[in-house]
A and B are shown apart, each in its own frame.
Chain A
Amino acid sequence: MTLHPAVLALLVASLLTGGMVLYAGWYGARILLQWEIGSGSERQLELERRTYLISTLLSVAFVLQILSLFLYVFTADRLHGMFSGAMCAAGTLNVNGFGYPVLLLKIVTFLLAGLWLVVNHADTRGYDYPLIKPKYALLLVLGPLVLVEGYLQYRYFAGLHPDVITSCCGSLFGQGQKGIGGDLAALPAGPMEGAFYGGMAATIACGLRFRRTGRGGYLFSAASTTTFVVAVGSILSFICLYIYELPTHHCPFCILQKEYGYVGYVLYIALFGGGVAGMGVGVLMPFRGRASMARVVPALQHRLVAATLVLYLLFTLVVSYRMLFSSFRMTAGPTP
């Protein structure tokens, strides 16, 4: 296993996150079983005190999880030099069977963690802890995912052995291995462009309608989530091509590099942030009716919708700018 300090940092982070989540889960289970909001008993008071600790632990754990997603991708990128044939993060992640599953799990836990933070925010604003049960139920789903991801991440890094010179063989690693980075599966560009812009327009329209009339929350959330998925596919399918100005380079990680102005960060942060906010609106919808949430949830949803619209708009503008001013042009015609 490579002992690069960044790898150690990621392992330490996942250990700490796992520990905090386990602790929170243990007390969360107790809260689910023993919670009685109306009681003034010492046990209830103690449980209420403990919710502060659990909220804090989980907020820190989830912020850490979100940061470690970026650190993971960046580390994979930095390590690509160690493996012959790896051009960027995509190559590094391909070295053993754990690289991509860990990335996928990190993305999923990122989204769920963001959702948990949204629900927690709403719950603390309610005068009778209305969302406490759904919140800890979500934790029971999210907790194991975090632990599994931590373990798989360890297996991934433990299985990374840099291709170094051995005493007898020289350059024979490179033989027979094609460039891994560039050949990721991609959907046809034309239809994707349509789907992308269509999805963005639909999301914006639904969002504005929701803000004005307060109706269509589920519709907005569905639109924004679909657009999120379409946008991720679009990055692979055509957005990258305009940024790299090459018809075959589909790698979604290279746009994070300095050569491309770190534009990848802007795109991913905007897209993921908007995605979580949009999903948050949908997750909060079932709780609009509760008495204590009557003022809290609509106000929160308004802010989430605004966040989604702003971030998605930013994403679209950056993408469109790159498409307009790129020297790359896609023409219709037979594919070579």
Chain B
Amino acid sequence: MNRFVERHRSILDFALSSLLRRKGKNISLWVVYTLIVFLIAAIVFYTHALKREAAMILQGAPDIVVQKMVAGRQDLVPVGYVGKIAAIRGVGAVRPRLWGYYYDAVTGANYTLMAPDGSLPGPGTADIGSGVARTLRVVEGDFLPIRAVDGVPTLFQVRKVLPYASELATSDLILLSEDDLRALFAFPRGFATDLAVTVENPAERATVAAKIAAQFPESRPILNSEILRTYDSIFDWRGGMMVVMLGVAVFSFVIFAWDKATGLSAEERREIGILKSVGWETGDVLLLKFWEGAAISLAAFLCGVILAYVQVFFFSASLFEPALKGWAVLYPRFKLVPDVDPYQLAVLFFLTVVPYTVATIIPSWRAATVDPDAAMRS
């Protein structure tokens, strides 16, 4: 056992000094390697963090949302459904929700207008999300014009800007009183946008949704879990698309690494010839090459992962945002919660270190099978 460890230790020692002896070549390899790891790690971390954010946000969303469909498109839902749905066994509460989209031509942004439960905000006032405040450049106390369906703008005084901490959920939100909202959208009384249904027991949710769909064939009940699944899918798909596109980069890197490994300088060839002639056998030289590769891989992997971590969690992945978050005028600003687990690192390892290692096997073997007597005859 001891011999085994000592042999590895000695050869590792020599491998490190070998790498340092050819700084130019090895530093350029390390830089490119780190870049590749960084790119893929950033995508993996970002996708994962976005999925987590979505999951956390959706925790507060209703278990089932019931919409009414007319000719395959969403229509207003009669409030009369509430009583009948509440009567279904397993349903905790049913709440009609009143909300809609508002397109502001001036800024080109879409806002969500909503009337929350309770008496606030009062008539003529509005609470706005921080994204809205940023886009329209308004603060508390300012006046906000909103056009009604007849084209006439109504002024609302901004009572409050919603806290930054809830950015992800409230960024594009404008909260108004129910009467104001109905007036703006010409929402008829007795109708709501959709119904929020609470079902305590998770195992019952699918059954309840099926019953709602059976009782009201024109309705579309949507489970919270399905929304989450769809978001997961989208983020995964987007992340995967970017990784596939980066596949070209990884492939180029692999060729680059292969080229570096094959292109032994005359000095390197001489060195290996000498090693073989003083008593190193092919297996020892292969071990040397393996440790060289492992050292570079470790250095590049660590640096790439750390850089990606910093980029995604401190700089909010500014490089990748557009591709991964989608296109819109109004974005919530939020800092992602750092969450890296060994699984993500394992995936990264498979996508970066493994192709590199495989690419360098044959060049390492070619280098290691130099005949020992070549040194004698040179």
The distance from the CB of B156 to the nearest CB of chain A, in whole angstroms, is 34
Of all chain A residues, the one with the shortest Cβ separation from B352 is A9
Question: Is B222 interfacial (CB 8 A cutoff)?
Answer: yes
Known contacts A8-B244, A56-B365; A167 and B72 CB within 8 A of each other: yes
Q: Say which residue of B227, B282, B346 sits within 8 Å of A165 (CB atoms).
A: B227
Question: Is B169 interfacial (CB 8 A cutoff)?
Answer: no
Docked pose: A3 CA to B236 CA in angstroms: 6
A9 / chain B contacts, CB cutoff of 8 Å: 347, 350-351
A162 / chain B contacts, CB cutoff of 8 Å: 229-230, 232-233
B227 / chain A contacts, CB cutoff of 8 Å: 165
The distance from the CB of B74 to the nearest CB of chain A, in whole angstroms, is 10
Docked pose: A7 CA to B27 CA in angstroms: 31
The answer to whether A5 and B286 have CB atoms under 8 Å apart is no
The answer to whether A8 and B206 have CB atoms under 8 Å apart is no
Q: Say which residue of B64, B221, B240, B357 sits within 8 Å of A8 (CB atoms).
A: B240
The distance from the CB of A292 to the nearest CB of chain B, in whole angstroms, is 17
10-65 of chain B: CB within 8 A of chain A: 40, 43-44, 47, 64
The distance from the CB of B153 to the nearest CB of chain A, in whole angstroms, is 34
The answer to whether A3 and B346 have CB atoms under 8 Å apart is no
A164 / chain B contacts, CB cutoff of 8 Å: 226, 229-230, 233
How many residues on chain B are close to A (CB under 8 Å)?
51
The answer to whether B223 and A174 have CB atoms under 8 Å apart is yes
Docked pose: A60 CA to B209 CA in angstroms: 51
Q: Quick check: which of A12-20, A113-121, A215-223, A269-277 contacts chain B, the rest being far away?
A: A12-20
Question: Is A78 interfacial (CB 8 A cutoff)?
Answer: yes
The answer to whether A53 and B222 have CB atoms under 8 Å apart is no
Q: Say which residue of A13, A49, A163 sits within 8 Å of B354 (CB atoms).
A: A13
Question: Is B262 interfacial (CB 8 A cutoff)?
Answer: no
The answer to whether B357 and A60 have CB atoms under 8 Å apart is yes
Residue of A3, A49, A60 with highest tally of chain B CB at under 10 A: A3
Question: Is A170 interfacial (CB 8 A cutoff)?
Answer: yes
The answer to whether A2 and B351 have CB atoms under 8 Å apart is no
Known contacts A3-B237, A56-B361; A171 and B221 CB within 8 A of each other: yes
Question: Is A168 interfacial (CB 8 A cutoff)?
Answer: yes
The answer to whether B206 and A5 have CB atoms under 8 Å apart is no
Known contacts A52-B365, A52-B369, A171-B210; A81 and B354 CB within 8 A of each other: no
Question: Is A6 interfacial (CB 8 A cutoff)?
Answer: yes
The answer to whether B223 and A5 have CB atoms under 8 Å apart is no
Q: How large is the interface on A (under 10, 10 to 19, 20 to 34, 35 or more residues)?
A: 35 or more
Of all chain A residues, the one with the shortest Cβ separation from B235 is A4
Residue of B244, B247, B361, B368 with highest tally of chain A CB at under 10 A: B361
The answer to whether B244 and A3 have CB atoms under 8 Å apart is yes
B241 / chain A contacts, CB cutoff of 8 Å: 3
The distance from the CB of A63 to the nearest CB of chain B, in whole angstroms, is 10
Question: Is B264 interfacial (CB 8 A cutoff)?
Answer: no
Question: Is B277 interfacial (CB 8 A cutoff)?
Answer: no
The answer to whether B232 and A82 have CB atoms under 8 Å apart is yes
Docked pose: A6 CA to B243 CA in angstroms: 10
Residue of A2, A5, A52 with highest tally of chain B CB at under 10 A: A5
Docked pose: A118 CA to B351 CA in angstroms: 28
Question: Is A57 interfacial (CB 8 A cutoff)?
Answer: yes
Question: Is A74 interfacial (CB 8 A cutoff)?
Answer: yes
The answer to whether A5 and B43 have CB atoms under 8 Å apart is yes
The answer to whether A175 and B206 have CB atoms under 8 Å apart is yes
The answer to whether A12 and B365 have CB atoms under 8 Å apart is no
The answer to whether A170 and B282 have CB atoms under 8 Å apart is no
A7 / chain B contacts, CB cutoff of 8 Å: 240
Question: Is B68 interfacial (CB 8 A cutoff)?
Answer: no
A67 / chain B contacts, CB cutoff of 8 Å: 346, 350
The answer to whether A5 and B351 have CB atoms under 8 Å apart is yes
Of all chain A residues, the one with the shortest Cβ separation from B241 is A3
Other CB < 8 Å A-B pairs besides A56-B365, A68-B350, A171-B222, 12 of them? A3-B239, A3-B241, A16-B354, A49-B282, A60-B358, A71-B350, A74-B343, A81-B229, A84-B206, A165-B222, A168-B72, A171-B213
Provide 14 A-B residue pairs closer than 8 Å at the C-beta atoms, listed in order of the A residue.
A3-B239, A5-B236, A8-B240, A8-B351, A16-B354, A52-B368, A57-B361, A71-B350, A81-B229, A81-B232, A164-B226, A164-B233, A171-B206, A174-B210
Closest 6 interchain pairs by CB?
A: A3-B240, A174-B206, A9-B350, A171-B209, A164-B230, A53-B365
Which residues of A come within 8 Å of B, CB atoms? 2-10, 12-13, 16, 20, 49, 52-53, 56-57, 60, 64, 67-68, 71, 74, 78, 81-82, 84, 124, 162-165, 167-175
